[in-house]
C-alpha cells in the first residue's frame, strides 16, 4: 500500500495527514503554534517554530500510520496564505518573524497608496483589494524596519516567500525556492492576467525581484526532501494556499461550485473557471490552481476571525477550556439573549474592508450570562459568512442552494445550525472536514500519477451531515438587521494615526 503525505501549515496549528488511495485519513498529527502579539493588531509567528513543528508532526504521522518514507509517493503542502517571511539566502535565518495575514500594521501604508490613487490599478492587475492583509506591504515593512534589510535585499542577499515557499526551501536544504500560482496570487505582486510577477507593482512596493520565488503550477514535482532523514527522498509534488486547496479537496472543480472553510478565519470560494473575472462586490479574484497548463480562478470572500473567536473565548477570556466546551456552553441557551458579538478583532475583511474596525459586544443586560456571550461569538462567525454569501450572490447572480463547509470550526454543531438558519439553505458537511490537507494531497497525488485525473478522485467526496434550516425567515431577517446595526458601530473604531507607517514621511511617498 502507498500513501500521500499532506502538510497543512495553518494559522492556529500545523498538521500532517497520511491519505490512502481512497482519500481516507490513515493517520494525523497536529500541534498548535504560538501566536505572537507584539502590539495590538500585530500578529506574528516564529518561522523556525513553523518549520520544526511541521517536520515533527510529519514524522509523528508516519509513526502513527506505521509506515516509513519509502511508503510515501509524494507530499503536498497547503498553507496559511499571505503570511510573509524574509530570510538570508546563505544562512537560512529569517531576519524577522513571519508577519501573519491577520496583522494590521501596514494599514497606514495602504492609506498612503490609496490616497495616491493606486488602489484601482492594484485591483485590476492582481484581483485583490488594497489592504494590509496581503503580502506586499508586509514584505515592504520588513525591508523598511529591520536594520540593514533593504541594503541586503538590494544586494541579492535576502529572499522571501509565503509559508509553503519557506517549507519547501527548508525541506530541500535551500535548493528550491518556489511558490505556486495560488499563493503567488495573494501577494499583491502577481499579475493575474500575465501569470507572472508584475514589475510595476514590484517598483511601487519597492521590493527587489531577486527576492521572489519562481512561480510554478500547484501540481508538479518541485524537489525531493533531503533535510530530514526520517522523510528523506519523499518528493514534494503539490502546493497551494489552504483555501484553494480546500476548494479542490471539496471537489469544487466546475465553475459555480463553492465551499466555505471555517478555520482561524472563514473563507468562501467559488470556482469561476478559466477567466479571472473581476468582482463588483469588493470580493477577490484569485488563482484557484494550475494543473499542467490549465489555470483556473476563483472568487473569494474572507473574514479574518472565524474559529479564532473560539480560541479567544478559551485563551483570551478564559471562559472555556476547549472548543467543545464553548459549543456546549453556547448550546445551553436557545439564543444569544439579544447579545451581538462582532469579531472585528483584526479589522473587517470582505466585503467591508475596514482595517480600523475593532471587536464589539453589544446588547448586554443584567440577565446576560457567559453562555449568551459564547453563543453570540459563534453567531458572529455565521453572520460574517452570511454577508459573504450575499456579496457572492450579488456578484454572480446565482443564489446558493446549499453551502459545502469544512475546516476545524465546522465541527461546531451550534455554529453550523445557526448558519443554515441564517441562510435558509442546507449546510452540508462532508465526511472528511480536513479538505485543506486533502486538496494538497490530491495536487501531489495527481503530479506523481497516484491518481490519474480529477474524475478518478470525484467518488471520494461523501456527505456526512446536513444541517437543514429551521428558523422562520422573518426571524433570520430580524437577526441580520441587529447584526448590521452592531457592525456599523464596530466599523472605523481605531484612530488612523495609531496604525500609520512608522517611517511615514511628510509627503506621501506613493505619489504618482
Ligand atoms: N468544535 C469546535 N467548535 C468551534 N470551533 C472549533 C471547534 N474545533 C476547532 N475549532 C476552531 O477551529 C480553528 C481551527 O481550525 P483549523 O481548520 O485547524 O484552522 P487553521 O487551519 O486556521 O489552523 C480554531 O480557531 C478553533 O478554535
Ligand atoms: O489558517 P486558516 O485555515 O484560517 O487560513 C488562513 C488563510 O489562508 C488566510 O488567507
82-103 pLDDT, tens digit per residue, is 999 999 999 999 999 999 999 9
Both 124 and 199 in a single domain?
yes
Atom of ligand 1 nearest to the CA of 242: 21
Rounded CA gap, 104 and 217, in Å?
30
Q: How far is the CA of 325 from the centre of ligand 1 (A)?
A: 13
Atom of ligand 2 nearest to the CA of 101: 9
Residue 502 pLDDT exceeds 60: no
Helix (H, G, I), strand (E, B) or coil at 197: strand
The domain of 78 spans 3-245
State pLDDT tens for residues 65-84.
Answer: 999 999 999 999 999 999 99
Written as one string, the DSSP assignment of 218-271 is SEEEEEE--S-GGGTTPEEEEEEEHHHHHHHHTT--STT-EEEEESSSEEEEEE
Rounded CA gap, 418 and 378, in Å?
9
In a domain, 105, yes or no: yes
ipTM above 0.85, yes or no: yes
Mean of per-residue pLDDT scores for the chain? 94
Output the known binding site for ADP: 11, 15, 264, 307, 408
Both 62 and 146 in a single domain?
yes
Give the residue from 193, 228, 245 where a domain finishes.
Answer: 245
Domain count, the chain: 2
Report the candidate in 413, 435, 108 with the shortest Cα–Cα distance to residue 261: 435
* Beta carbons of 77 and 239 less than 8 angstroms apart: yes
Rounded CA gap, 118 and 328, in Å?
47
Rounded CA gap, 8 and 244, in Å?
12
Minimal-distance CA residue to ligand 2 atom 4: 264
In a domain, 75, yes or no: yes
Rounded CA gap, 190 and 194, in Å?
9
Both 315 and 228 in a single domain?
no
Residue 295 pLDDT exceeds 90: yes
How far, in Å, are 229, 230, 244, 438, 483 from residue 250 at the CA level? 33, 31, 10, 8, 30
* Beta carbons of 28 and 17 less than 8 angstroms apart: yes
Find all residues with CB under 8 Å of 62, minimum gap 6, and list them: 5, 16, 18, 27, 68, 69, 72, 230, 231
- What is the longest distance spanned by two Cα atoms in the chain? 65
Q: What are phi and psi of 254, to 5 degrees?
A: -115, 145
Element containing residue 191 per DSSP (H, E): strand 190-191
Residue 503 pLDDT exceeds 60: no
In a domain, 448, yes or no: no
- Can you give the pLDDT at residue 505? 46
Both 227 and 376 in a single domain?
no
Ligand 2 lined by 260 (C-beta under 6 Å):
no
**Angle value at C-alpha 369, between 366 and 371, nearest 5 degrees:** 155
State pLDDT tens for residues 402-426.
Answer: 999 999 999 999 999 999 999 999 9
CATH at 122: 3.30.420.40
Q: Residue 1: pLDDT band by 50, 70, 90 thresholds?
A: confident
Both 58 and 146 in a single domain?
yes
Residue 500 pLDDT exceeds 60: no
- Indicate left, alpha or beta for 201 from its phi (over 0: left) and psi (-120 to 50: alpha): alpha
Ligand 2 lined by 264 (C-beta under 6 Å):
yes
Label the pairing between strands 25-32 and 72-79: unpaired
Looking at the CA of 12, name the nearest ligand.
1
Output the known binding site: 11-13, 15, 81-82, 133, 242-243, 264, 307, 311, 408
- Can you give the pLDDT at residue 497? 57
Atom of ligand 2 nearest to the CA of 264: 4
Q: What is the mean pLDDT of residues 325-346?
A: 96
Q: What is the mean pLDDT of residues 320-329?
A: 97
In a domain, 67, yes or no: yes
Ligand 2 lined by 80 (C-beta under 6 Å):
yes
Residue 317 pLDDT exceeds 80: yes
* Beta carbons of 178 and 213 less than 8 angstroms apart: yes
Q: What is the mean pLDDT of residues 258-282?
A: 93
Q: How far is the CA of 307 from the centre of ligand 1 (A)?
A: 5
Helix (H, G, I), strand (E, B) or coil at 174: coil
Helices first, then strands: H and E counts in the chain: 17, 23
Atom of ligand 1 nearest to the CA of 324: 1
Beta strands in 311-396 (DSSP E): 340-342, 360-362
Give the residue from 245, 266, 293 where a domain finishes.
Answer: 245
Least confident among 234-238, 461-465, 507-511: 507-511
State pLDDT tens for residues 354-403.
Answer: 989 999 999 999 999 999 999 999 999 999 999 999 999 999 888 888 99
Both 183 and 61 in a single domain?
yes
Q: How far is the CA of 88 from the centre of ligand 1 (A)?
A: 33
Ligand 2 lined by 435 (C-beta under 6 Å):
no
Both 397 and 484 in a single domain?
yes
In a domain, 283, yes or no: no
> Probe ligand 1: pick from 310, 315, 316, 379, max atoms within 8 Å of CB?
310
Q: Residue 498: pLDDT band by 50, 70, 90 thresholds?
A: low
Find all residues with CB under 8 Å of 131, minimum gap 6, and list them: 110, 349, 353, 355
Q: Nearest 10 degrees: CA dihedral of 408, 452, 276, 392? A: -40
pTM above 0.90, yes or no: yes
Both 172 and 69 in a single domain?
yes
Ligand 2 lined by 408 (C-beta under 6 Å):
no
Output the known binding site for ATP: 11-13, 264, 307, 311, 408
* Beta carbons of 154 and 190 less than 8 angstroms apart: no
- Indicate left, alpha or beta for 66 from its phi (over 0: left) and psi (-120 to 50: alpha): left
Ligand 1 lined by 332 (C-beta under 6 Å):
no
Q: How far is the CA of 433 from the centre of ligand 1 (A)?
A: 11
Q: What is the mean pLDDT of residues 16-20?
A: 97
Ligand 2 lined by 241 (C-beta under 6 Å):
yes
Both 204 and 97 in a single domain?
yes
Report the candidate in 157, 154, 142 with the shortest Cα–Cα distance to residue 208: 154
Ligand 2 lined by 10 (C-beta under 6 Å):
yes
Residue 437 pLDDT exceeds 60: yes
Both 334 and 235 in a single domain?
no
Rounded CA gap, 265 and 282, in Å?
18
In a domain, 280, yes or no: no
Q: In the chain, what percentage of residues exceed pLDDT 70? A: 97
Q: Nearest 10 degrees: CA dihedral of 360, 364, 370, 374? A: -40
In a domain, 271, yes or no: no
Residue 469 pLDDT exceeds 90: yes
Element containing residue 214 per DSSP (H, E): strand 214-216
In a domain, 153, yes or no: yes
Ligand 2 lined by 439 (C-beta under 6 Å):
no
Minimal-distance CA residue to ligand 2 atom 7: 80
Atom of ligand 1 nearest to the CA of 14: 23
Cis peptide before 351 (omega within 30 of 0): yes
Rounded CA gap, 154 and 145, in Å?
15
Ligand 1 lined by 238 (C-beta under 6 Å):
no
Residue 509 pLDDT exceeds 90: no
- Can you give the pLDDT at residue 27? 97
Both 346 and 421 in a single domain?
yes
Give the residue from 245, 261, 294 where a domain finishes.
Answer: 245
Least confident among 144-148, 459-463, 465-469, 499-503: 499-503
Atom of ligand 1 nearest to the CA of 406: 17
Q: How far is the CA of 151 from the centre of ligand 2 (A)?
A: 32
Both 230 and 330 in a single domain?
no
* Beta carbons of 18 and 5 less than 8 angstroms apart: yes
Amino acid at each position: 500500500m502507498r500513501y500521500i503525505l499532506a502538510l497543512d501549515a495553518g494559522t492556529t496549528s500545523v498538521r500532517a495527514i497520511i491519505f490512502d488511495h481512497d482519500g481516507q485519513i490513515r493517520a494525523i498529527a497536529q500541534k498548535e503554534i504560538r501566536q505572537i502579539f507584539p502590539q495590538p493588531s500585530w500578529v506574528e509567528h516564529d518561522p523556525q517554530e513553523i518549520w520544526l513543528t511541521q517536520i515533527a508532526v510529519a514524522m509523528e504521522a508516519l509513526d502513527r500510520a506505521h509506515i516509513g518514507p519509502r511508503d510515501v509517493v509524494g507530499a503536498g503542502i497547503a498553507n496559511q496564505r499571505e503570511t510573509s517571511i524574509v530570510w538570508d539566502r546563505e544562512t537560512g535565518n529569517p531576519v524577522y518573524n513571519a508577519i501573519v495575514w491577520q496583522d494590521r500594521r501596514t494599514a497606514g501604508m495602504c492609506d498612503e497608496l490609496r490616497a495616491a490613487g493606486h488602489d484601482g490599478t492594484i485591483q485590476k492587475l492582481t484581483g485583490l483589494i488594497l489592504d494590509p492583509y496581503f503580502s506586499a506591504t508586509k514584505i515592504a515593512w520588513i525591508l523598511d524596519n529591520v536594520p540593514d534589510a533593504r541594503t541586503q535585499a538590494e544586494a541579492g542577499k535576502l529572499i522571501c516567500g509565503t509559508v509553503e515557499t519557506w517549507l519547501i526551501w527548508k525541506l530541500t536544504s535551500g535548493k528550491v525556492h518556489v511558490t505556486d500560482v495560488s499563493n503567488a496570487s495573494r501577494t499583491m505582486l502577481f499579475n493575474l492576467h500575465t501569470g507572472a510577477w508584475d514589475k510595476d507593482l514590484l517598483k511601487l512596493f519597492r521590493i527587489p525581484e531577486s527576492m521572489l520565488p519562481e512561480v510554478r503550477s500547484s501540481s508538479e514535482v518541485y524537489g525531493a526532501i533531503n533535510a530530514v532523514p526520517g522523510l528523506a527522498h519523499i518528493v514534494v509534488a503539490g502546493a497551494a494556499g489552504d483555501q484553494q486547496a480546500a476548494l479542490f479537496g471539496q471537489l469544487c472543480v466546475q465553475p459555480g461550485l463553492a465551499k466555505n472553510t471555517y478555520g482561524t478565519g472563514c473563507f468562501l470560494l467559488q470556482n469561476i473557471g478559466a477567466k479571472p473575472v473581476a468582482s463588483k462586490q469588493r470580493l477577490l479574484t484569485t488563482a484557484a490552481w494550475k494543473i499542467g497548463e490549465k489555470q483556473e480562478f476563483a472568487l473569494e470572500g474572507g473574514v479574518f476571525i472565524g474559529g479564532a473567536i473560539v480560541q479567544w473565548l478559551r485563551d483570551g477570556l478564559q471562559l472555556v477550556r476547549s472548543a467543545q466546551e464553548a459549543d456546549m456552553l453556547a448550546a445551553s441557551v436557545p439564543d444569544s439573549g439579544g447579545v451581538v458579538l462582532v469579531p472585528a478583532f483584526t479589522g473587517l475583511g470582505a466585503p467591508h474592508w475596514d482595517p480600523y474596525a475593532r471587536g464589539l459586544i453589544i446588547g448586554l443586560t443584567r440577565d446576560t450570562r457567559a453562555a449568551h456571550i459564547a453563543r453570540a461569538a459563534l453567531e458572529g462567525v455565521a453572520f460574517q459568512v452570511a454577508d459573504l454569501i450575499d456579496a457572492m450572490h450579488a456578484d454572480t447572480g446565482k443564489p446558493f442552494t446549499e453551502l459545502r463547509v469544512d475546516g476545524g470550526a465546522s465541527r461546531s454543531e451550534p455554529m453550523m445550525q445557526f448558519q443554515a438558519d441564517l441562510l435558509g439553505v442546507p449546510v452540508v458537511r462532508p465526511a472528511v472536514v480536513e479538505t485543506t490537507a486533502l486538496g494538497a494531497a490530491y495536487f501531489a497525488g495527481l503530479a506523481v500519477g497516484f491518481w490519474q485525473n480529477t474524475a478518478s478522485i470525484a467518488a471520494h467526496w461523501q456527505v456526512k451531515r446536513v444541517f437543514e434550516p429551521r428558523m422562520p425567515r422573518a426571524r433570520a431577517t430580524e437577526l441580520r438587521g441587529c447584526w448590521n446595526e452592531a457592525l456599523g458601530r464596530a466599523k472605523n473604531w481605531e484612530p488612523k494615526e495609531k496604525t500609520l507607517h512608522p517611517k511615514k514621511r511628510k509627503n506621501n511617498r506613493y505619489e504618482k
